[in-house]
Structure 1
Amino acid sequence: MSIQNSDGEEKAGFFIASNIESEWGEDNVDHQSLLLQRADALASENRLKEAIDVFSMALRYGSVRPEKLSTLLDCVLRNFKKNVGGELAAQPIVTARNSVGNTADVFSCPGCAWFLGEPVTVGCGHSCCKRCLQRHMFSKCKLCGEDVMNVSGALRPNVVLCSILEKWFPNEIKRCKEIAEIEDLSRRKQFEEAVSLANNVVKSDPGDVLARICRAEALAGLGQYKRALGDLEPLWLSSAKWAEGYFRKAMILQEMGQVEESLNMLLHCLALDQHFTLAKKELEKRLHQLLSPGLENVKVGLRETVQSSSAHLWSKTVAGEEQEDVQAEENGEGGPSESVGRRSLSRAHSLRARRGPTGPAGEEGLKRVSSAPQLGDQEKAALLKRKLSVCEAGPSFIHSLGNKHKKQGGTETAGAASCTSMPCRTVPLELLQASDCECSLCMRLFYEPVTTPCGHTFCKSCLERCLDHAPQCPLCKESLKTYLASRKYNITAALEEVIKQYLCKEHMERKRSQTEETKELSDLMKNVPIFVCTMAYPTVPCPLHVFEPRYRLMIRRCMETGTRQFGMCIHDPRKGFADYGCMLLIRSVHFLPDGRSVVDTVGGKRFCVLERGMKDGYCIANLQHLEDVRVSDGEELSKLQELHDQVYGQARAWFHSLKNRFRGQILQHFGPMPEKEADIQATPDGPACCWWLLAVLPVDPRYQLSVLSSTSLRERLLKIQHILTICRASPTDS
């Protein structure tokens, strides 16, 4: 791959962008927005050379947030990946888990692959360590690819998982707390204390990778960059696809002034993990600095370009000095302070050798900077293209470093290799207790555990029932309105795997009881849920607005069991609900943010109530379905058909006599009148037009109920004909 343009190509791209600008004239057009749109389009088409030119022009019109360069960054990464032959395809560190997989996977963070210290369960149901989320290591879950939620707000660890891990792995938890303390000291810029604590941790466990990373950051804060690289280098080399290793090294190299190598590391990091948020933001900032107008940026860019020729020599010098320091420490030459002073002097001497005004390269660079104060956007764009040409040396440079350290055969590299392999953690059998995984609402083993943003875990069905009554956490009473609105009650995967692996018998028993309960709810003849509301008829749509908690539960159970059916009856002051009703089939459910729902249903079979009861606040009943008595006599069937045709004609005449607004309301709510059926006894409930008419005609519900309960088609037709006669005699707008 060649990201760098020839001079002719650079001029051509700049000429195109200039022509676009000249066409706008001097009116009030937002030139910067148009240029940014053009640049985004060029970058999307993978025309990197022209995109750089146009982006550089856009920045002349004013400041632009670095995030606006995300399309350009994507284009750079595509070219970089193409250059390295796709060997750094972005893959998650932990690609998959299964119920019988490696024990270490269950207790490992999918983001960093280390121990799941302070697990935070995100919106997709997967749990990551708090450290990864605090540092914004990634924007998408490494297991499912969904956007990571709750990262911007307070990170609440999963209470149940934390309790289990602290009980089963106290040493690991203790080490995680020490790591958190080291990082906290570094954040407060107490680097010496952080290094001292990290030294103690590494001394007790030389294979602790996170301790070495934290120590490297603290050392970098003290300006001891070679020692920091000494901690990172063997870890980075032993795990060729460790994205965080590339990022950490890139930041240290940037502080050391090795800008080109730092940029190369960042590109490798994003090539491995395109959702590594920190690296992406850092690269956007770097591109923004290179493209922004101003002499200082040009000076820095020119100096980096001048120094790029000695980049490999500099890396060798650093490695050689680092080897000397390590040997000096092992031989006991000088105390810690003396060693630090020697490193600082060595680093200062190295920087002077590279940057000092007395060096040939330094003099030439300064002369070029001082003689180029009028550099325009074309030259800056060309400079950036040359700057991005470090991508061409990516794989060979990385592999050369790896081969060099392999040849050295140092013990630290071997130690890092061993510490990057995942340990096989064993759960003490004597500590396994089912009570550690019990729902605080139903007091039974978790079944489909879900975790709220506040960190509390419940069975999915238990939590939904609580949210039916109030949008608050049942334990801490924190508002869950946003969580309720999203309705993403995803199963907490880590806890589910723990239960399946270590509490297998209890899980099977819990699953069996749940299956029996579901089977009992799916019977459409016994204990059928009854919605006491309005009249419903076979084949006729019946939209419902569900807001009461008891009916929210009822509708949810109908969906979960797969029946998608419930009974509809009108209210009866003595019995609670009428003796006759109609089954409704749920076609779709639209949930509103506050938990209410709009349920689209259509009428099914008619039924007669045999027994009544209550379940969890809503009515239930044992039912018997109703069917019309079939007419088999030829003459009687002929008279029945004649009566049907007569009633159908009367119905059409009445419907067309209505005013337009009434017809429109009927059509919107109930749909058009059904077509005349060839066989009026084809279904147990008779022709659909009868039920449609019964639903739209202005009739008392008690009279409608008598028609619904009738099993004689002739009687039904006669009653409808009587109603139509009365309606035709009244005004058309009645």
Structure 2
Amino acid sequence: MDLLLCPSCQQILWDPVTVRCGHSFCRKCLHGPPPSRCLLCKQRLHIRGPQDLKCNTLLCDLLDKCLDRETKLDRITRDLQDLISQKEYEEAGKLASKGIGLAPEDIILRTLRSQVFVALKQYPEALRDAELICILQPQNPEGHYRKGTVLMHMKEQKEALFHLHQCLLLDSQFFAARREMGQLLEDLGCSVPSTTEDLMEETFRYLKISSMDTTRLVIPMEATYTMSQSDSACTKLHPTTAEERASFMNQPSEVPVKTSSSSNQEHPPDKEEHAVGIGDHKLEEEKLMCCHDSRSSLRDLISPSDVECSLCIRMFLDPVTTPCGHTFCKECLERSMDHRPYCPLCKQSLREYLRLGHYPVTALLQEIMSFIFPLEMTERNQVHQSEIAELSNLVQNVPIFVCTMAFPGIPCPLHVFEPRYRLMMRRCLETGTKSFGMCLYESGKSFADYGCMLEILNLDYLPDGRSLVETVGRRRFRVIKRGQIDGYHSAEVEYLADKVLEGEELQETEQLHDIVYQQLEECFSQSQGSLPSRIFMQHSQPPLKEDNIQASPDGPSWCWWLLSILPLDPTYQLLIMSLTSLKERLLHLKHILSMFLLNQS
């Protein structure tokens, strides 16, 4: 059960609240002046008030199944006493009702709730609890005292006096009842004797004169004391008051420990080292057996279906708890918030949670699953890894962004807002490839037959879930087969590379390369106002010419830069990009630049 202890109070978790960093504490430990930082990871908590202390519903359910009835009652009683001492009667009333729902005949909880109802001035409710105590335990002085104090507040003085008299008959040392009885007699204009016996005689005389049913008061004092002693003996075994239960729970247990002398007698000195080794081995075996027994007992209480995500209906993977107290797989929650920033279960707004963009794993739930279901967790992770491996195959499962033209080595900034592409970007980062394909839209095919791979350099999430993505073009590809993955397009592709040139053909291509680059430099040297200068006015100089035109499988990078800035029809750009002959690509660029230089009008 050490796994279920609160890091703050070191008691069994009760009404667990999972804070922003993913650690869980008792709600009571975070109530009042909340800590500014987490006690475990020291992160800032930013708890604004009770609205930020929603209980983790899943952990509450698991604790309810793991904890036995007595443990729950002890924790409720302890917390209830703390709330009463802090005069937080509203919270105390809710907690007491919760405990009584668990144990309707628990005298301690009935007594404490009656006290809470009196503080809240809910006297009829307080009287019902006190009457039930008197019915369940007629010889318990606490019930008569509670009933007497409630009747005092209800101005039923004679009836209150009667029950306080009964309380002192059952326990002559009940000083609170003696004090209240003296106050009542004084209010009624009677004398207040100094001794308990005289006080009870005066009360009996007043009730007899007031025509009360005094037959109930005729109980010999000797019998009362005998009964009280027997009750106190029984109390040691079955505590009936909160104080006695608390002291009973805190009694230290005595565990016999072997002394060193007995150890020496069992093992001769010459075999001491061997004996220690055997002892360590046995201790290790006992620890393993204890761990196995704990896991088995918890498995009897918790089943794998208790730790399933309500969105994917599989065992939690990286469980995340929302501010409203509901838990989902991290990936499932992100996909849900891609469409609507609301909790999938209670529909509470998660815009603030989305704005933070940080979803830490619920540490306690992860530890519970790893301890109880190690094999199932391993299997769940293996399935996830196989899914990631399939998604990271950049030949058969290339994610396709259908938008615009992209070219090798050329930056391509993107604004992502569609849910399907938000999912695609996250997966590109999760798989580690950081790459996806960019294709033009083409009617009848969904996207064109050729495209360019883009590599993600940086991704900035905006508060509303949109993102700004910095990418740069890498390799060209040809689409072989089209498909879809979770709403976005995918493709099986074949990567393109320019044909390798040799000998005379290489020399001719190098000469053509120099001619076209010279044309590009002429465009930059044209007078201001000419057509070339207006086209290239956003750029001061062209990129540098490369010495080796076959250094890259996609050819010289300046060619792609030129193609990206020229005011050409995208289908014509696509045609040039699909060419695997550098010579043909240079001829197209030469023709375009020649037209610009000749036509100055």
User: Which range, TM-score by smaller chain?
Assistant: 0.5 to 0.7
Q: How does 1:88-487 map to 2 (within 5 A)?
A: 103-104=1-2, 106-154=3-51, 155-171=53-69, 172-188=71-87, 334-337=173-176, 418=252, 426=294, 427-487=297-357
Consecutive unaligned residues of structure 1, counting only runs of 5 or more, are 1-102, 205-210, 222-331, 342-411
Q: Whose helix proportion is higher, 1 or 2?
A: 1
> Following TM superposition, by how much is the alpha carbon of 1:181 offset from its aligned partner in structure 2, in angstroms?
3.4
> What is the identity, as a one-letter code, of the residue corresponding to 1:681?
Q
Output the CA distance in 1 between the equivalents of 2:512 and 2:436. 33
* Residue 514 (structure 1) aligned to one of 381, 384, 389: 384
CA distance 1:724–1:170, change in 2 (3 Å): farther
> Following TM superposition, by how much is the alpha carbon of 1:132 offset from its aligned partner in structure 2, in angstroms?
1.3
> Following TM superposition, by how much is the alpha carbon of 1:186 offset from its aligned partner in structure 2, in angstroms?
3.9
Output the CA distance in 2 between the equivalents of 1:502 and 1:693. 61
Output the CA distance in 1 between the equivalents of 2:46 and 2:57. 18
CA distance 1:188–1:161, change in 2 (3 Å): same
> Following TM superposition, by how much is the alpha carbon of 1:485 offset from its aligned partner in structure 2, in angstroms?
0.7
Consecutive unaligned residues of structure 2, counting only runs of 5 or more, are 104-108, 120-170, 181-245, 254-290
Equivalence for 1:544: 414
1:497 counterpart SS class: helix
* Residue 487 (structure 2) aligned to one of 614, 617, 620: 617
Equivalence for 1:647: 516
Equivalence for 2:582: 713
Return the index of the structure with the highest Cα Rg.
2
> Following TM superposition, by how much is the alpha carbon of 1:115 offset from its aligned partner in structure 2, in angstroms?
1.6
> Following TM superposition, by how much is the alpha carbon of 1:444 offset from its aligned partner in structure 2, in angstroms?
0.5
Output the CA distance in 1 between the equivalents of 2:175 and 2:48. 40
* Residue 570 (structure 2) aligned to one of 701, 718, 725: 701
Contact 1:580/1:709, CA 8 A, preserved across alignment: yes
Output the CA distance in 2 between the equivalents of 1:571 and 1:190. 66
> Following TM superposition, by how much is the alpha carbon of 1:676 offset from its aligned partner in structure 2, in angstroms?
1.1
Output the CA distance in 1 between the equivalents of 2:424 and 2:79. 47
2:342 counterpart SS class: coil
Output the CA distance in 2 between the equivalents of 1:698 and 1:469. 36
> Following TM superposition, by how much is the alpha carbon of 1:661 offset from its aligned partner in structure 2, in angstroms?
8.8
> Following TM superposition, by how much is the alpha carbon of 1:675 offset from its aligned partner in structure 2, in angstroms?
1.5
Output the CA distance in 2 between the equivalents of 1:551 and 1:442. 20
Output the CA distance in 2 between the equivalents of 1:597 and 1:662. 31
Alpha-carbon deviations, 1:641-667, whole Å to 9, x = none? 121112112213324547799757458
TM-score of the superposed pair, with normalisation by structure 1 = 0.53
Equivalence for 1:603: 473
Equivalence for 1:589: 459
Output the CA distance in 2 between the equivalents of 1:340 and 1:511. 67
Contact 1:535/1:581, CA 8 A, preserved across alignment: yes
Equivalence for 1:676: 545
Contact 2:520/2:542, CA 8 A, preserved across alignment: no
Output the CA distance in 2 between the equivalents of 1:673 and 1:417. 85
Instruction: Confirm or deny that 1:528 pairs with 2:425.
Output: no
Equivalence for 1:688: 557
Output the CA distance in 1 between the equivalents of 2:62 and 2:249. 30
> Following TM superposition, by how much is the alpha carbon of 1:415 offset from its aligned partner in structure 2, in angstroms?
8.4
CA distance 1:673–1:144, change in 2 (3 Å): farther
Output the CA distance in 2 between the equivalents of 1:118 and 1:340. 38
CA distance 1:176–1:573, change in 2 (3 Å): same
Instruction: Confirm or deny that 1:495 pairs with 2:362.
Output: no
CA distance 1:666–1:487, change in 2 (3 Å): farther
Contact 2:437/2:453, CA 8 A, preserved across alignment: yes
Output the CA distance in 2 between the equivalents of 1:152 and 1:653. 69
CA distance 1:625–1:188, change in 2 (3 Å): same
Alpha-carbon deviations, 1:585-613, whole Å to 9, x = none? 00010110110001100001100000001
Contact 2:31/2:50, CA 8 A, preserved across alignment: no
Contact 1:450/1:490, CA 8 A, preserved across alignment: yes
Contact 1:122/1:149, CA 8 A, preserved across alignment: no
Contact 1:540/1:602, CA 8 A, preserved across alignment: yes
1:576 counterpart SS class: coil
> Following TM superposition, by how much is the alpha carbon of 1:337 offset from its aligned partner in structure 2, in angstroms?
3.1
Alpha-carbon deviations, 1:402-455, whole Å to 9, x = none? xxxxxxxxxx99986959xxxx99554321200100000000100010010000
> Following TM superposition, by how much is the alpha carbon of 1:187 offset from its aligned partner in structure 2, in angstroms?
4.6
Equivalence for 1:227: none
Contact 2:65/2:302, CA 8 A, preserved across alignment: no
Instruction: Percent identity, please.
Output: 45
* Residue 438 (structure 2) aligned to one of 568, 572, 593: 568
Output the CA distance in 2 between the equivalents of 1:685 and 1:477. 51
Output the CA distance in 2 between the equivalents of 1:656 and 1:160. 71
Contact 1:666/1:696, CA 8 A, preserved across alignment: no
1:571 counterpart SS class: coil
CA distance 1:544–1:189, change in 2 (3 Å): closer
> Following TM superposition, by how much is the alpha carbon of 1:730 offset from its aligned partner in structure 2, in angstroms?
4.3
Alpha-carbon deviations, 1:521-569, whole Å to 9, x = none? 0001002100000000000000000000000011110000000000010
2:63 counterpart SS class: helix
Higher RCO, 1 or 2 (CA under 8 Å, sep at least 6)? 1
> What is the identity, as a one-letter code, of the residue corresponding to 1:337?
A
> What is the identity, as a one-letter code, of the residue corresponding to 2:4?
F
Contact 2:298/2:372, CA 8 A, preserved across alignment: no
Instruction: Confirm or deny that 1:632 pairs with 2:502.
Output: yes
Alpha-carbon deviations, 1:661-702, whole Å to 9, x = none? 9757458xxxx7431111110110010000000001111111
Alpha-carbon deviations, 1:284-332, whole Å to 9, x = none? xxxxxxxxxxxxxxxxxxxxxxxxxxxxxxxxxxxxxxxxxxxxxxxx9
2:309 counterpart SS class: coil
TM-score of the superposed pair, with normalisation by structure 2 = 0.65
> Following TM superposition, by how much is the alpha carbon of 1:339 offset from its aligned partner in structure 2, in angstroms?
11
Equivalence for 2:424: 554
Contact 1:111/1:137, CA 8 A, preserved across alignment: no
CA distance 1:627–1:119, change in 2 (3 Å): same
Aligned residues: 421
Choose 124-133 or 656-665, whichever is displaced more: 656-665
Equivalence for 1:580: 450
Output the CA distance in 2 between the equivalents of 1:618 and 1:471. 20
Output the CA distance in 1 between the equivalents of 2:311 and 2:406. 36
Output the CA distance in 2 between the equivalents of 1:130 and 1:492. 16
Query: How large is the Cα RMSD of the aligned pairs?
Result: 3.3
> What is the identity, as a one-letter code, of the residue corresponding to 1:162?
C
Contact 1:583/1:603, CA 8 A, preserved across alignment: yes
